[in-house]
Amino acid sequence: MKTHVCCPHIMRTVLFLVTASLSAQNIFVGQWSLDSGGYYRFNADGTGGVSESPDGNFTEDFSFLSWEGAGITTGYPRVNTLLLVSGSGNSPQDITLKLYSYTLESGGTVRAQDGDGNRLVFTRIAGNPAPLDVRPHPLLGQWEAKWNGGNHDGALGTWSFLYRPDGTVKAYHHRLHQFENAYLVRANVLVIIGEWRFHPAFPANVGAITEKGKDAVFVREVGGTTWDYKRKSKAVWKK
């Protein structure tokens, strides 16, 4: 079952100085074996599963995204990052988030490590990198959002967002900065990582989604920040 993600514990990334860019091809799509045993399958719809056998039943165990942190000038992480979100429900407390830094080696092996030093070594056994298509979910498209956060350096309390089907989101804090993030939606919870979305002690924005109608969505993040979204046919962007 695909769900539209908690965070009782968030694992810190280990700061490897690896940079890349957001890519249309997600390197994790496909089937992988682990050096410690077991198999992972990452699907092009942004979900994945785990099995004890390569021919096993890969039930949908998690949603995932990957962030490749080139050009990051502020916040965390400044590394290639894999995010796995399991569980389902209507609140951030109903999910579990695991955050790994990773390096891609020649031959396609991926070495991942969480903030506690636990390591996973993935070896591809099937499939190829492919674009993600995370549809459907209620946040796809362009939006204007009012928030209750701080506005500094002349910024307004208004943002523009463009949630794309490939798991990337463009954000513009009006009169201030415009930047790219990665996101996933699982059940009724939104998770965003990327530049300007990080604090060392809390490296992801996690919020509960409430649909208020066809063209209106409300998001309340862990920590109390709120976002009141209104759908736009064409949002305002920084020139």
C-beta separation of 210 from 188 below 8 A: yes
Residue 198's domain comprises 141-231
User: Quick one: average pLDDT of 24-37?
Assistant: 94
Strands 30-34 and 119-126: antiparallel
Residues 47 and 114 in one domain: yes
pTM above 0.75, yes or no: yes
Single residue among 94, 126, 158 that ends a domain in this structure: 126
Residue of 173 and 13 predicted with greater confidence: 173
Task: Give a yes or no: residue 23 inside a domain.
Answer: no
Q: Is residue 165 part of a domain?
A: yes
d(CA 51, CA 44): 18
Do 120 and 148 lie in one domain? The reply is: no
Dihedral angle of Cα 173, 46, 96, 41, to the nearest 10 degrees: -150
Question: Which one has a higher pLDDT value, 197 or 222?
Answer: 222
> 106 lies in a domain?
yes
At 151, the amino acid letter reads: N
The one-character DSSP state at 92 is G
Structural domain ending residue among the three candidates 64, 91, 126: 126
Task: Write down the residue that tokens 């962030």 correspond to.
Answer: 67
Mean pLDDT, rounded, for 231-239 = 96
Q: Is 238 a domain residue?
A: no
**Residue 129, pLDDT score:** 94
- 198/201 Cα distance (integer angstroms): 8
